[in-house]
Amino acid sequence: MSTTSRVNPTAAATPSPRRARVRPLRADVREGVLAAGRDAFRELGYHGASLDGIARRAGFSKGAVYSNFDSKESLFLACMDVEMKELGDKRRETTSTTDTDAYFRDLATWLLGIASDGRGQRAFTEFAAYAARDAELSARLVEVRRPLTERTMHTLAAVAQEQGRDLAVSAADAAAMVLSLANGLSLEQIGREEPVMTVDGLATLLRALYV
């Protein structure tokens, strides 16, 4: 008797079904490119990062990047928009406007936290210098930063109202001073391991915004 197993010719002739290729949703592609872009800009700087490299990090083609962002400038501004919203949300979550001392310490801690993010701030400074040569790009940069500026203005004014005090300058000027402090501290922090200022020292300086 033969021990050879019989093969079902029908089964052998039936091709295995191919798995349908699932294309990622456009929103997922955008989120992936944004995440890869943020990492690349922080690690390599604005000029050091490339769309080809960002596409590879995200696991997509360069065409997928261009289907969402028409240029490296647009991608950087979109990444910065995410950063600004996160900074604003973090500021709102950590701010106490009912306790004056806690408020100034919170604000000082927030500013020093921005300063300690050396890679992110250096990428922003690099792009800002680049955008300064292009009026349209500079205007787009201002718009991206506007929500954080307005939120800072609102918080500073709210503290004055709740504490029955006045700002020494307009809310717009005070917000500009606070955000300028963040940028300046970031530059001073370069190459330093210890914070460039103490929380108490910066909190004392910030109190001068109120009379």
CATH number for 46? 1.10.10.60
User: Rounded to whole angstroms, how far apart are CA atoms 95 and 99?
Assistant: 9
User: Rounded to whole angstroms, how far apart are CA atoms 40 and 50?
Assistant: 8
Return the percentage of the chain with pLDDT > 90, whole number: 43
Domain co-membership, 89 together with 145: yes
Residue at 179 is within a domain: yes
Domain co-membership, 143 together with 39: no
Domain co-membership, 148 together with 53: no
Position 120 scores a pLDDT of: 82
Residue at 9 is within a domain: no
Query: 139 pLDDT band (50/70/90 cuts)?
Result: very high
More confident residue, 14 or 183: 183
Domain co-membership, 113 together with 179: yes
Q: Which amino acid is at 66?
A: Y
Q: What is the pTM of this model?
A: 0.76
Region 26-35 average pLDDT: 87
Range of the domain at 136: 72-211
Residue at 16 is within a domain: no
Position 1 scores a pLDDT of: 46
